[in-house]
Amino acid sequence: MVRKVHYCWFGSSLPPQVAENIADWQRLNPEFEFCEWNDKNSDITDYPYAQQALAERRWSFLSDVVRLQKLYEQGGFYLDTDVELIKPFRLLEHESDCLIMGYIQNCALGTAVIYSPPAHPVIGDVLEEYKHIRSGCWPVNNRVFTHYFINNLPDFLLNGQRWKSDKHKISIYPKEYFEKPAWQREQGFSIHHCSGSWTKSNSQPTNFTTRKLTASYRITWLTRQLRSFRRIFSSEYRDVYFNALLLRRRKTLRPDWLDEARRVAFRSPKSASPVSLQAGK
C-alpha cells in the first residue's frame, strides 16, 4: 500500500476545523505521509480547464484535476477535507493493488475518498478527459467518473452495490462505506459531510464529527437515506440504475462536456473508445 494521503485546499489558509479534521486523520494513521496541494505547489500547465478554474476561483473543479494528477503520479489515498475518518487505512491494505472508490448515491460514484496505486489506467484515462472538456463546462467529477465506468467497463452495473473487478483491479463499495452514515457508525470506514467548503468563498465549514449518541446518529442516518432515495428519481442515471437492478446494461452515454474531437467516439455504441482501458493497455 502507498502510505500517502493527498488533500487539496486552495484560495485561503486552512480553517481551524479543517486542520483539526486532518489532525484526526493523522492520529488514526501515524505511519502515513500527508500531502497538502494548494495554489503554490500544484502544476496545472497541461490543463486549461484547471487554469480556468483557478482564474475563476472554482476550487472544487481545480481539485478534480489536482487529485487525479497526484494519485496517478504518486498513488495513495485522496480525501476531501470534510471527510470524517472512522477507521485506519491499513484495513484496506488487502486491496492495495486496486483502485478503491465508493458510491455517493446508489446511482452515482463518489470521489471524496479514493485510493489508487500509481499509474492506474482508470485514473490516467479520467485525467486525460480533463484535457478535452469544453471551455465553460463544469461537470462535477461524480458525473465524469460515473460516465466513464458506464461507458468503459462492460461488467460494471450502476446499482449501488459492492463490485470488484480482478481484471481491471477496481474495488467499489456501497455508499455507506465511505460517504453516508452506516446504520451502526462503526460499520462504515468514513463519512463525507458535504460541507460545501469548496465554494468560491471557502466559507467556514460545519462540524465534521458525527454525533455518537445513538438517537442523534440514527436520525442523521435516516435523513440521508431518504434524501439519497429521492435523488435516484431526479438523477440523469435513473434509467441506468433501474436497468442495473435488473442486471441489464444501458447503451453508452455521451458525455456532453467533452470537446467535439473527444465526443466523436461516443456517437455510436459500436464506435471505438478513445480511452486506454478499452484499448487493452
- Domain spans of the chain? 4-266
Confidence at 195, pLDDT banded by 50, 70, 90:
low
Beta-carbon contacts of residue 148 (< 8 Å; ≥ 6 apart): 122, 125, 126, 129, 275
Q: What is the pLDDT of residue 267?
A: 40
Contact status, residue 59 vs residue 198, Cβ threshold 8 Å: yes
Distance CA 129, CA 148 (A): 9
**Among 20, 11, 83, which Cα is nearest to 42's?**
11
Distance CA 179, CA 226 (A): 15
Q: Is the pLDDT reported for residue 82 higher than 70?
A: yes
Q: What is the pLDDT of residue 279?
A: 36
Distance CA 254, CA 269 (A): 9
Averaged pLDDT for residues 182-190 = 71
Which residue intervals of the chain are DSSP H helices?
A: 16-28, 48-55, 59-74, 121-129, 141-152, 175-178, 214-234, 238-245, 260-263
Beta-carbon contacts of residue 194 (< 8 Å; ≥ 6 apart): 82
Confidence at 261, pLDDT banded by 50, 70, 90:
low
Query: By mean pLDDT, which of 34-43, 208-217, 231-240 is the weakest?
Result: 208-217
Confidence at 214, pLDDT banded by 50, 70, 90:
low
The DSSP letter of residue 133 is: B
Averaged pLDDT for residues 177-185 = 74
Q: Is the pLDDT reported for residue 188 higher than 80?
A: yes
Contact status, residue 172 vs residue 101, Cβ threshold 8 Å: yes
Q: What is the pLDDT of residue 276?
A: 47
Q: What is the pLDDT of residue 256?
A: 72
Q: Is the pLDDT reported for residue 3 higher than 90?
A: yes
**What are the pLDDT digits (tens) for 122-146?**
999 999 999 999 989 999 999 999 9
End-to-end Cα distance, the chain: 22
Angle at 152 between CA 249 and CA 140, to 5 degrees: 95
Contact status, residue 53 vs residue 59, Cβ threshold 8 Å: yes
The domain over range 4-266 is classified in CATH as 3.90.550:
yes
Q: Is 157 left (phi over 0), alpha (psi -120 to 50) or beta?
A: beta
List the beta bridge partners of residue 12: none
